[in-house]
């Protein structure tokens, strides 16, 4: 199986030993504590599950700025985005002590991790703007990822962490949430060697389904991991439980047995386009995928990124030795009226726009809200039924 990034084995920061975890939970009750941001809590979940191997905790400012500029920490380790614990107040917190990190997304704010504080650094406006511009390619506060990043706080608390739980992901999505450790174990159990991963924050329509089939066939893969984001999205996006139901229904009905695995990960969407695509590739390698599908507008939002920026960044900015995972570059896929099947649009040069079945997201939402299923050339009827039920419940 493919090795993790920068390590021979995964380095999950979750405390698996029950007695040690109980001891640390007890210790945490007497430690100074801070309610961290949703983003920092999501980082803790990813660190805990081994997805961010070989990181040992939150970055200091020097590492975060280096990663933002050139995707390298001060030690030369590759990582595509800053992993920070930004807070608004550092009252009662000092370097050298342990602190309890409290989860903002769970009632009662239980402790999600214990952090050994190495540094506490104030982040100035210039440094914040640099990280924002490099990661998001914009400083526009209308960009949901930019707004979220800049409202977290201006004090960066760095240092290693010990993760005590996986927030609400394990309890709210018990059949879907999986750590990188668990996915690697499942891939090995299934006897898969060449594995392609598909990222989604939306339900999968027919074009997405067929894209996965195309990738598996062309790459000669044993299996597919559909890996959906389970964390916070922007307003208007379809909730994770509805997506999960739609995707599982599609896989059950339209994929051969033991060919596809439906899983999810606990992270908040950044909407950072190209940089987020690299992060997606990074942690898919850590979970055991040998290949990763990147299509048009991957991880984007609005008009902030070019259609294929998330693909070309691997040629122009990612160091050649940084990742072993291979990228499957996809164009927009749609049903061809001429060929009576789904094709990649760049592989049908004799087609005009009118030769494809194309529906805008707005039109699809309108149809579903009206109780109308999109045409079968766009969406499986069983998937449409689930989405109609959701939209009519709003």
DSSP states of 251-287: HHHHS-TTSEEEEEE-------THHHHHHHHHHHHHT
| CA atoms of 181 and 179, how far apart (whole Å) | 5
Residues 18-26: contacts with CB within 8 Å, 24+ apart?
Answer: 21/164, 24/114, 24/162, 24/164, 25/111, 25/164
| CA atoms of 129 and 140, how far apart (whole Å) | 10
Our CA angle for 388, 390, 394, nearest 5°, is 115
DSSP states of 1-24: -PPPTTSSS----B---HHHHHHH
Task: Give me the catalytic one of 194, 201, 248, 329.
Answer: 201
Angle between helices 61-70 and 125-136 (to 10 degrees): 40
Catalytic, 85? Answer no
DSSP single-letter state for residue 303: T
**Strands of the sheet with 260-265, listed across from one edge:** 260-265, 223-229, 195-200, 291-294, 326-329
Phi and psi based region of residue 150 (left: phi greater than 0; alpha: psi -120 to 50; beta: remaining): alpha
Task: Give me the catalytic one of 21, 25, 194, 202.
Answer: 202
Please count the other Cβ atoms lying within 10 Å of the Cβ belonging to residue 25. Answer: 16
| CA atoms of 338 and 380, how far apart (whole Å) | 20
DSSP states of 83-144: ---EES--TT--TTSEEEEEPTTSTT--EEEEEE--EEEEPPHHHHHHHHHHHHS---TTSH
Q: Which two tokens stand for residue 69?
A: 């500029």
Catalytic, 202? Answer yes
Read off φ and ψ for residue 326, nearest 5 degrees: -100, 140
| CA atoms of 98 and 118, how far apart (whole Å) | 9
Are 385 and 245 within 8 A, CB to CB?
no
Q: Which sequence positions are flagged as catalytic? A: 201-202
């Amino acid at each position: 199986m493919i090795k993790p990034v920068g390590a021979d084995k995964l380095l999950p920061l979750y405390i698996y030993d029950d007695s040690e975890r109980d001891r640390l939970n007890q210790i945490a009750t007497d430690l100074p504590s801070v309610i961290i941001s949703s983003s920092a809590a999501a980082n803790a979940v990813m660190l805990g599950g081994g997805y961010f191997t070989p990181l040992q905790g939150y970055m200091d400012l020097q590492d975060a700025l280096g990663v933002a500029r050139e995707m390298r920490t001060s030690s030369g380790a590759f990582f595509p985005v800053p992993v920070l614990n930004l807070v608004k107040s550092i009252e009662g917190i000092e370097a050298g002590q342990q602190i309890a990190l409290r989860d903002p997304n769970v009632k009662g704010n239980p402790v999600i991790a214990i952090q050994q504080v190495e540094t506490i650094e104030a982040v100035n406006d210039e440094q914040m703007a640099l990280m924002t511009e490099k990661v998001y390619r914009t400083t526009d506060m209308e960009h949901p990822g930019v707004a979220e990043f800049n409202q977290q706080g201006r004090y960066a608390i760095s240092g290693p962490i010990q993760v005590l739980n996986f927030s609400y992901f394990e309890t709210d999505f018990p059949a879907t949430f999986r750590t990188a450790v668990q996915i690697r174990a499942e891939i090995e159990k299934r006897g898969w060697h060449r594995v392609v991963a598909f990222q989604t924050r939306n339900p999968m329509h027919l074009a997405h389904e067929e894209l996965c089939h195309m990738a598996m066939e062309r790459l000669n893969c044993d299996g597919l991991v559909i890996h959906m984001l389970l964390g916070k999205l922007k307003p208007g996006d379809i909730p994770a439980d509805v997506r999960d139901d739609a995707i599982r229904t599609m896989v059950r009905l339209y994929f051969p047995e033991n060919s596809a695995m439906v899983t999810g990960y606990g992270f908040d969407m950044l909407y950072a386009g190209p940089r987020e695509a690299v992060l997606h590739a990074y942690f898919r390698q850590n979970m055991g995928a040998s290949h990763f599908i990147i299509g048009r507008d991957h991880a984007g939002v609005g008009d902030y990124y070019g259609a294929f920026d998330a693909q070309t960044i691997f040629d122009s900015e990612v160091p050649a030795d940084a990742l072993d995972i291979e990228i499957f570059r996809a164009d927009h896929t749609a049903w061809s009226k001429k060929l009576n099947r789904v094709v990649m649009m760049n592989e049908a040069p004799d087609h005009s726009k009118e030769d494809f079945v194309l529906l805008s997201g707005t039109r699809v939402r309108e149809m579903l809200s009206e109780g109308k299923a999109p045409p079968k050339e766009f969406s499986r009827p069983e998937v449409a039924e689930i989405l109609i039920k959701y939209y009519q419940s709003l």
